[in-house]
Amino acid sequence: MLFYPAALPLSAQTLTYAAGVIRRHRKKIGSCWRKLSPGRQALLVLAHLRTGETFAALAAGFGVGTATAWRYVQETVALLAARAPKLDAVLGTANKAGHAFVVIDGTLIPIDRVAADRPFYSGKHRKHGLNLQVIASSQGRSCGSPGPCPGPCTT
């Protein structure tokens, strides 16, 4: 297998934020040792989310097993999703800002799932994915985004 250096079009603040979330989680659960540091785990996850690299390619590049790469991605995505504001909080913020109405729009972000896992299957798109929805004001400014939900989500 050949390796090459690559660049991600993300800011250092994004990496620092994700690494901080991972670091606090590890301290909370008392995790004393992991193969990758919180910063490297965050970089692995951001590379997967931004470029769609396979777990096998990420595992080879970061020197971990494929299952470990998968677990790191699952853990970090769950931690970041838990920090997303809930729908009622976003709508309350929009109401306080004086918006008469808001626009809710979403997109399906494809994910790797086996056919047996139906909860994340979107019949409309005929593929597995997470439904990411954004709430925007009438001027097009984002008011927030409730966390991702399974493909057939209708919130």
Cα 37 from Cα 15, distance rounded (Å)? 12
pTM of the model: 0.65
Quickly tell me which residue has 């097009």 as its tokens: 140
pLDDT in tens, 34-51: 999 999 999 999 998 888
pLDDT at 91: 78
The yes-or-no verdict on residue 134 having pLDDT over 60 is: yes
Tokens of 30: 């008392």
Is the Cβ–Cβ distance between 73 and 44 less than 8 Å? yes
pLDDT at 155: 43
Q: Checking DSSP bridges between strand 127-137 and strand 102-110, what pairing results, if any?
A: antiparallel
